Structure 1
Amino acid sequence: MKYEEIFARSFSRHDQKRFKLGASLACFVVLWFMCTVFKPYLRILPVSNLRLIKTNNSNRHKYKTSNETQTLHLLPPKLSKNREAERTTLICNTSKSRCDVCEMKGDIRIQGNSSTIFVFSSLTGNSSMTIKPYARKSDKSAMESITTFTIKSIQEEGETMLKCTKIHNVPAIVFSVGGYARNNFHAFSDVIIPLYATSRDFNREVKFLVTNHRSGWTSKFQELLQELSRYEIIDIDHENEVNCFPSVVVGLEKEDRKELDIKSMKDFTLFLRSSYSLERFTAINLTNSLTKKPRLLIVSRQKTRAFMNIKELVHAAQEFGFEVTVTEMNANLTHVSRLVNSCDVMMGVHGAGLTNMVFLPENGVLIQVVPWGKMDWLANTYFGDPSKVMGLKYLEYKISQGESTLVDQYPLNHQVLVDPFSIQRKGWGAYKSIYLDKQNVMLNITRFKETLSRSLELLHS
């Protein structure tokens, strides 16, 4: 027999109504009493069945309950009796092909000499993950030398509490200047531009924790680093202190499949001009400046991919009315930036020196001389496409087989000359050793004059 039928036979309708009303009132009183008494404890009930996962859509590290997926919220231990524990978050994005980035807020403690970052939690079990803070993660060769950081989420009761020996009241960004960062192109593409994208919203109120530190590197880019942070750089690998921060970003944001490029590239070039106090924002307009000569900067190279007939090239440019400067790029970016900014056209053989196009005034012209070896992808990806995003005019001069010094090193029917793709299939090392390391350029001046003429036309527009 059902409970409703037993209830109906035991009481009259009037008694049933009175009983139901009284029971409802009693339940309400009991519920109100429980909520009042136990309210302080209900807020901190732990979430059950938490486990660390990667979601498929964003690949951010999250914790998942039996019913939903949510971003991890950790409660750090109280720092004092009078201070309530602050909510701590840890979010790691590993979905990009170029970089991994972890952001955390709360009680963050960094033990530099062990490359360990501790995020204290009173809700979850101990867990950890590793990250290399360099924006070229798919390149195994580059990443071999990058320090691996371990991010550990630990419980206050589970491990010995690390005491802060240095307490900072501003956020921190952890990044590496290892890998290929000694090369000027990679210094900008892998570090400087991603660092700008990651740190600009902090308005200089952020500390840089550098791993794989090189004093020469930070000296070279000192002006830019000072414009992004007003604090001294911390060489985190040799830091014996336990540094505590309210928030930390590990890794630098980098757009997938992009070199020398971010969404706000023009803002970045303005940042460069401001950092180095560059005077020229736009190149010469020959239509309105009939008395001034356009300035041409020829980037020379000594060891490889050098111009073998530089005197003839300079003479031809002067015949077109250019004021010509020939120089090899160096580490003094204050000098280099002002020299490049003073010119209207910059030309050179494919190589790291062309990276200094970032200092050209807007509407300036970049001429990239592309060596023999089917380098179309390299030329466009590294300099062609980025130059256009910077507001520059781009010209490309692909040398013929006869303009390459490789014809003096190999028979004319050798695969190096007739089938560069066969060398590419052997791997980057084999390709680079021939087409980038052994090749110089003997320009066909008559043929190249067409490119010089076209650069003048662009300065008229």
Structure 2
Amino acid sequence: MKYEEIFARSFSRHDQNRFRSGALLACFVILWCMCTVFKPYLGTLPVYPEVEKTTLICDTSKPRYDSCEMKGDVRIQGNSSTIFVFSSQLTNASMTIKPYARKGDESAMESVTTFTIKSVQDKPETMIKCNKTHNVPAIVFSVGGYAGNNFHAFTDVIIPLYAKSREFNREVKFLVTDNRLSWSRKFHELLKKLSRYEIIDIDHENEVNCFPGVVVGLGKEERKELHLESVKDFTSFLRSSYSLDRSTTENLTNGLTKKPRLLIVSRSKTRTFVNIKEVVHVAQDSGFEVIVTEMNANLTRVSQLVNSCDVMLGVHGAGLTNMVFLPENGVLIQIVPWGNMDWIANTYFGDPSKAMGLKYIEYKISQGESSLIDQYPLNHQVLVDPFSIQRKGWGVYKSIYLDKQNVTLNITRFKETLSRALEFLHS
């Protein structure tokens, strides 16, 4: 007789059921005891938060800037200027980047913070933990370098930031490095039009900020200043940001008797108008209402003043950057100092003003209109061969032609320039 049959006959059906229930209960008791005994050890097993893979695209081939775009889990430790990503796209697991658009200029880049992008390639548990988690992406940029200068603030930072941030429709946070309170205050109106959020001074962030995407570094076209493809859209954006009334000067073509307004940008330290009173008088005699002022950091007031004028006049310098607030079809008159400044004058203000829809007039002073003739003999290289000074480097050239030169305009010759500006306004 088989063993199963003997076993079955040895117990009644009731006994078999009691046996099964007892065995099941014993298993539960044993399992509970094991959990109790081993619980302390089980509690030490590592539990890692889920880390999303990051798409990382960096471009270091451009002559003017480096940039990286990251989408996924991006973590920034501000006080160490370190960005952590979970990605295998960096060959050496890390790289450095300075987020300012003058890569080839050593003097500018000295004061720009270096960010390190560290890639965790195979162990997500080594990723630094988040203290603050944000639900919108971020743009990291520097206001070091030359950004304290009005011209460089616009061409190196504001215009590239405008071009990049538009794709986010204000749903982006600005992480500013090398921040200066005066800079942030000056451009506050523009920054809040580009982002719904307060800027973050990332250098002083002790906690780890985590974002679903980060852009580090802003792009800029090679050999072009104050420029982007849609520069008229940018000037329109400025007028909207500061609630400026005039988009064009077309009211001057309607036969109105109101005098056109001429804004003379004065300077107090260098490249000043020595005979400013004569300049004002000849402009008034030519039919202009004349305003003389030095530009300041209050962009709300500056923008309103410039926008109320039809012509802007000044010696080459950062103050002319405020031409961005002129109404379209307005006129920019740039006084170009002695020193073979054709390229810099045209690149910085000539070409950009035309792209903005302005009329551009260049008045290049003669040797006799320069204060340099009082500082050097007439046969000195400074006067007869500026190219030889250029070859000594930008620092030497700048110290002479930009830092130590004032102008005395030839009134008779300058009157012709004013007549040309009037023709532009009424054409």
TM-score by length of 1: 0.81
1:318 alignment partner in structure 2? 284
Q: How far apart are the structure 2 equivalents of 1:437 and 1:409?
A: 13
Letter aligned with residue 158 of structure 2: I
1:133 alignment partner in structure 2? 99
Contact 1:285 1:460 in 2 (8 A): no
Letter aligned with residue 115 of structure 2: F
Letter aligned with residue 450 of structure 1: E
Task: Tell whether 2:308 aligns with 1:335.
Answer: no
Contact 2:264 2:293 in 1 (8 A): yes
Contact 1:340 1:357 in 2 (8 A): yes
Q: Pick from 258, 264, 275: which aligns with 1:298?
A: 264
Q: How far apart are the structure 2 equivalents of 1:159 and 1:86?
A: 12
Cα deviation digits, residues 349-393 of structure 1 (max 9, x gap): 000000000000000000000000000011000000000000000
Q: How far apart are the structure 1 equivalents of 2:379 and 2:162?
A: 48
User: Does the C-alpha gap of structure 1 residues 153 and 238 become closer, same or farther in structure 2, counting only changes over 3 Å?
Assistant: same
The correspondence of residues 199-348 of structure 1 with structure 2, limited to 5 A, is 199-348=165-314
Unmatched tracts of structure 1, length 5 or more: 1-76
2:323 alignment partner in structure 1? 357
The correspondence of residues 65-214 of structure 1 with structure 2, limited to 5 A, is 79-80=49-50, 86-121=52-87, 127-155=93-121, 157=123, 160-214=126-180
Q: How far apart are the structure 2 equivalents of 1:182 and 1:359?
A: 19
User: Where is the helix percentage greater, Structure 1 or Structure 2?
Assistant: 2
3-state SS of paired residue (2:246): coil
* 1:120, distance to aligned residue in structure 2 (A): 1.4
3-state SS of paired residue (2:174): strand
User: Does the C-alpha gap of structure 1 residues 105 and 405 become closer, same or farther in structure 2, counting only changes over 3 Å?
Assistant: same
Letter aligned with residue 316 of structure 1: V
User: Does the C-alpha gap of structure 1 residues 78 and 172 become closer, same or farther in structure 2, counting only changes over 3 Å?
Assistant: farther
* 1:162, distance to aligned residue in structure 2 (A): 1.1
Letter aligned with residue 247 of structure 1: G
Q: How far apart are the structure 2 equivalents of 1:124 and 1:196?
A: 28
Bigger drift between 189-198 and 94-103 goes to: 94-103
User: Does the C-alpha gap of structure 1 residues 124 and 184 become closer, same or farther in structure 2, counting only changes over 3 Å?
Assistant: closer
1:69 alignment partner in structure 2? none
1:408 alignment partner in structure 2? 374
Letter aligned with residue 303 of structure 1: K
Letter aligned with residue 249 of structure 1: V
* 1:122, distance to aligned residue in structure 2 (A): 7.5
* 1:285, distance to aligned residue in structure 2 (A): 4.8
Q: How far apart are the structure 2 equivalents of 1:164 and 1:137?
A: 31
Q: How far apart are the structure 1 equivalents of 2:158 and 2:151?
A: 10
TM-score by length of 2: 0.87
Cα deviation digits, residues 15-39 of structure 1 (max 9, x gap): xxxxxxxxxxxxxxxxxxxxxxxxx
Letter aligned with residue 313 of structure 1: V
* 1:447, distance to aligned residue in structure 2 (A): 0.5
Q: How far apart are the structure 2 equivalents of 1:161 and 1:414?
A: 64
Contact 1:340 1:359 in 2 (8 A): yes
Q: How far apart are the structure 2 equivalents of 1:123 and 1:425?
A: 43
User: Does the C-alpha gap of structure 1 residues 86 and 285 become closer, same or farther in structure 2, counting only changes over 3 Å?
Assistant: same
Q: How far apart are the structure 1 equivalents of 2:163 and 2:48?
A: 34
3-state SS of paired residue (1:225): helix
3-state SS of paired residue (1:256): coil
Letter aligned with residue 455 of structure 1: A
3-state SS of paired residue (2:253): coil
Q: How far apart are the structure 1 equivalents of 2:135 and 2:208?
A: 14
Letter aligned with residue 373 of structure 1: G
* Aligned-residue CA RMSD (Å): 1.6
Cα deviation digits, residues 177-197 of structure 1 (max 9, x gap): 000000000000000000001
3-state SS of paired residue (2:264): strand
2:356 alignment partner in structure 1? 390
* 1:255, distance to aligned residue in structure 2 (A): 1.3
Q: How far apart are the structure 2 equivalents of 1:122 and 1:193?
A: 33
Cα deviation digits, residues 236-265 of structure 1 (max 9, x gap): 111001000000000012111110000010
Q: How far apart are the structure 1 equivalents of 2:240 and 2:90?
A: 47
1:5 alignment partner in structure 2? none
Contact 1:125 1:154 in 2 (8 A): no
Contact 2:75 2:130 in 1 (8 A): yes
Cα deviation digits, residues 382-419 of structure 1 (max 9, x gap): 00000000000000000000000101111111111111
The correspondence of residues 361-380 of structure 1 with structure 2, limited to 5 A, is 361-380=327-346
User: Does the C-alpha gap of structure 1 residues 415 and 124 become closer, same or farther in structure 2, counting only changes over 3 Å?
Assistant: closer
3-state SS of paired residue (2:220): coil
Number of equivalenced pairs: 381
* 1:161, distance to aligned residue in structure 2 (A): 3.1
Cα deviation digits, residues 91-144 of structure 1 (max 9, x gap): 001121111110001111001111100001479886111100001111111001
2:15 alignment partner in structure 1? none
Contact 2:88 2:119 in 1 (8 A): no
Q: How far apart are the structure 1 equivalents of 2:195 and 2:401?
A: 40
Task: Tell whether 2:414 aligns with 1:448.
Answer: yes
Contact 2:165 2:194 in 1 (8 A): yes
Q: How far apart are the structure 2 equivalents of 1:376 and 1:328?
A: 24
Letter aligned with residue 443 of structure 1: L
* 1:287, distance to aligned residue in structure 2 (A): 3.4
Q: How far apart are the structure 1 equivalents of 2:127 and 2:287?
A: 71
